[in-house]
Structure 1
Amino acid sequence: MCWPLTVLALLLAVGTFAWQTPGIGLVGSLGGYVPGWLVLLGAAGVVTGGIAWFVEPSAGVPVATALSAMAVAAGVKVIIDQRAALRSVGVETVLRDYFGPFLRSGARPDDVVTYGPVRGRYPRMAVYRPRPSESPAPVVVHVHGGGWMSGDEVGDKAFCRYLSDRGFLVFSPTYTLATEERPTWESAPREIACALTTANALSVQYDGSADAVYITGSSAGGNLATLVANRVAQGERFGLEHGRIPRVAAVAVNIPAVDPGFAEGTAYAFSGGLARRFAETYTGGTPESVPDRYAAVDASNFLSRQSPPTLLVYGPNDWLVPREATLTFARRARIMGVDVRAVPVPWTGHLIGLSGAGGRAIAELTVEWFRRHGE
């Protein structure tokens, strides 16, 4: 029994530290998201190894026991690194955070509305209302991820409900999803800009503030959030004829695909093709065939001194959206004088939502960032 436990624990340990290794890195890197289970599996291997040695000593038992002990050490290191990194930015983790997601479920939205029209389409938008308050609630627009090809307005309901429970009025729009026959590099940002306009118009109806909005997004949603916020800051109206596009007071995104062109350079063998498929379906081609489109969806190209304060939470071991894109965006923003903060969650990557530590960081830092940059 000790060897199966040892092999499983070793897979998670090796995959976490060798996350770029095809196959083992994709599966084994889960140890970086749930290191508590890595510690428990390794400890179980040590215990069963001791029992096996007592019952029937053999040459393989000490080897299995030693490897299990190494897995325990690996899991402990991950926990220590994550705890220290998040404590340095004011986030205190708890034991449960190392065994599964921070946000496990969330109540359905309080309402679902449509917005538009944008080129004849009326996309849906979920509404999450906070508890009644004497003052208008600050408004957040959350943009879902999914590689621009999947997702909907209720896919991130747990995160949206977390924000509404902390006093924010949250609107979560869907947008036209890209297909091979229908690239949406131009229409999706326009729809999100329209969603900002609609959220601003509906805010009073839902007891929210119409002065400004905050915007969040994950992965592809992080691209749309940063892209639209920076273009709006430069005064762009996205061809919208009706309504006022509100000022974006602050941006908070996680594992953001700020520059889809970085997908073309993803070296990770297993997911590189997937990353390129997302980017090429969204834009309708490669960076060589449609360079103008890639330039138009690279959020860093629209940074300016007017850009809103931006928080970026990312996983350094991201095999889908290279961390270099996030760090490049942050460096360019600082050069422009933008208030930007890039926070890594060690040993995590694009599945950061599976990490309790990562999920807690995203949730708590988003709230803190918006409150710091409140009106």
Structure 2
Amino acid sequence: MSMAIRLCRTGMMTIAWIMVLPCLLILLGAIVPIVPWFRIYALGVVPNHTSWLFLWAIVALLIGLLANSLFKSRAAIAIVVTAVATIALTTWVMLHLLYIAQVNGARINVVKALELREVRDGARPDESRVYSRPGGEDLWLDIYHPAGTPANTPSPVLIAVHGGGFFQGSRSSGAANQRWFADHGWTVISIDYRLARDDRPTWNLATRDVQCALAWTAANATALHIDLDRVTLTGGSAGGSLAMAAGYLADAKRTDPECGPAIPHIAAVVAKAPLIDVIGSWYYTGELRDEQRSYLTRYIGGSPRDYPERYAAIDLRKFQFPSNPPTLILSGASDPLLSPEAGADFVRRAKAGGLEVRRILFPYSGHDFNTTYNSITNQAMRQIIAQFIVDHGAGPKLPGLTFTD
């Protein structure tokens, strides 16, 4: 065999292994929790890039088949077998994710799922304003005006609260999703709030900021052409917790009068991966326990032993009032940051009290399972959220409107 042929064979084999082995390992990492820290990475990659894992495995298979037809080697056969196994696993995972989407009313474009754009990219608000200045700190919000709404016709409003462990993140973190909802008839208002610092826990401040943004929205409803009977409050991670707290307290508490005279009634709450049981989260033995404790220390000021009254005050399970709006919770089934039992317990308590709470778990998914804009999970989430809001009378009233991507 000439040197050129050997180099060609080696090059083909190397490319195929480089493509297929990482895909297989990532899939196994998400399916079988053998290597804890690698599992965290896999649980982020799989829900966001399943289509790419499938495509790479197909390409590796084709290279392996070509190499075997040209050189007839065991190494080429091994590549083919590995690629087939990877394709089978990826197909199973993809079909499972598509099934979750389908049974919840979402239709997925798997070709679009190859797009690599993230949810924070590719969109800008129509305007930004300061809605409050607590202690001289400007708190901003971004406004995305709705498309397709007739002039002077009030639109529903979606108020979004960003995540980031209560100490980081910004109102622009979900800009592409916010533009999608605006394009489908909502006025979207994405807010910032006071972030925790080592010298300033915000356990008793951040929810007030969300309430202040709600009051500001109500005070500016006429100018914004929004319908205060169709207000949805949504958030992800830390923002999901704040959205639930502010939404559940909207009819029970009033905010700083400088923000506005009153908080509007909330028609629906949507939370992605919210922190529900803060005490349980402190003691949860997941891989990210130390990271979670650092978040809670910033946000609350210390441990449950140091501040039991603070932890008790923000436990969302205690915010289950008869007036609570319908709530949709979306989570990763294998979230390494939050205990799945806390979410299940919350839903049980809510249903026992006659409250409407719906919870959807995405398989093979961790905490950040929808960071890619057109991933299967994010396409599903947008449609599921939109339909949930519409089903509860808080969506656009536009003829012929659909939410399929």
Same fold (TM over 0.5): yes
- Give the equivalent residue in structure 2 for 1:328: 345
Deviation at 1:20, TM superposition (A): 6.4
Classify 1:275/1:310 alpha carbon distance in 2 versus 1 (closer, same or farther; 3 Å). same
| 1:266-305 mapped onto 2 (5 Å cutoff) | 266-269=284-287, 271-305=288-322
Is 1:108 matched with 2:127?
Answer: no
Is 1:373 matched with 2:373?
Answer: no
- Give the equivalent residue in structure 2 for 1:172: 190
- Give the equivalent residue in structure 2 for 1:87: 102
- Give the equivalent residue in structure 2 for 1:36: 51
Unaligned runs of 5+ in 1: none
- Give the equivalent residue in structure 1 for 2:332: 315
Classify 1:117/1:71 alpha carbon distance in 2 versus 1 (closer, same or farther; 3 Å). same
> How many Å separate the matches in 2 of 1:329 and 1:240?
32
Deviation at 1:222, TM superposition (A): 0.1
Deviation at 1:100, TM superposition (A): 4.5
SS at match of 2:336: coil
Q: Percent identity?
A: 28
- Give the equivalent residue in structure 1 for 2:166: 148
SS at match of 1:358: helix
Paired residues of 1:176 and 1:184 also in contact (CA < 8 A) = yes
Classify 1:20/1:358 alpha carbon distance in 2 versus 1 (closer, same or farther; 3 Å). farther
Moved more, 258-267 or 331-340: 258-267
SS at match of 2:334: coil
Paired residues of 1:144 and 1:155 also in contact (CA < 8 A) = yes
Classify 1:5/1:154 alpha carbon distance in 2 versus 1 (closer, same or farther; 3 Å). closer
- Give the equivalent residue in structure 1 for 2:10: none
> How many Å separate the matches in 2 of 1:201 and 1:26?
43
- Give the equivalent residue in structure 1 for 2:403: none
Paired residues of 2:229 and 2:267 also in contact (CA < 8 A) = no
- Give the equivalent residue in structure 1 for 2:3: none
SS at match of 2:88: helix
Q: 1:207 aligns with which of 218, 225, 230?
A: 225
Question: C-alpha deviations, 1:15-55, integer Å up to 9, x for none?
Answer: 12125632321233313432222222222332222333344
> How many Å separate the matches in 2 of 1:239 and 1:208?
22
Classify 1:19/1:111 alpha carbon distance in 2 versus 1 (closer, same or farther; 3 Å). farther
Write the letter of the residue equivalent to 1:291. P
- Give the equivalent residue in structure 2 for 1:228: 246
Classify 1:156/1:186 alpha carbon distance in 2 versus 1 (closer, same or farther; 3 Å). same
Q: 2:367 aligns with which of 335, 343, 350?
A: 350
> How many Å separate the matches in 1 of 2:183 and 2:47?
29
> How many Å separate the matches in 2 of 1:329 and 1:212?
25
Is 1:337 matched with 2:354?
Answer: yes
> How many Å separate the matches in 2 of 1:123 and 1:32?
33
Question: C-alpha deviations, 1:333-352, integer Å up to 9, x for none?
Answer: 11121111111222222122
Deviation at 1:216, TM superposition (A): 0.5
> How many Å separate the matches in 2 of 1:78 and 1:59?
29
Unaligned runs of 5+ in 2: 1-13, 395-405
The size of the alignment, in residue pairs, is 373
Paired residues of 2:240 and 2:273 also in contact (CA < 8 A) = yes
Classify 1:210/1:98 alpha carbon distance in 2 versus 1 (closer, same or farther; 3 Å). closer
| 1:121-136 mapped onto 2 (5 Å cutoff) | 121-131=137-147, 132-133=149-150, 134-136=152-154
Write the letter of the residue equivalent to 1:37. W
Please provide the CA RMSD for this pair. 2.2
> How many Å separate the matches in 1 of 2:118 and 2:183?
13
> How many Å separate the matches in 1 of 2:159 and 2:210?
9
> How many Å separate the matches in 2 of 1:221 and 1:181?
21
Paired residues of 2:272 and 2:330 also in contact (CA < 8 A) = yes
Question: C-alpha deviations, 1:306-365, integer Å up to 9, x for none?
Answer: 111001111112122333332222222111211111112222221222351211122112
Q: Which has the larger radius of gyration?
A: 2
Q: 1:14 aligns with which of 12, 28, 35?
A: 28
- Give the equivalent residue in structure 2 for 1:74: 89
TM-score for both structures, normalised by structure 1: 0.92
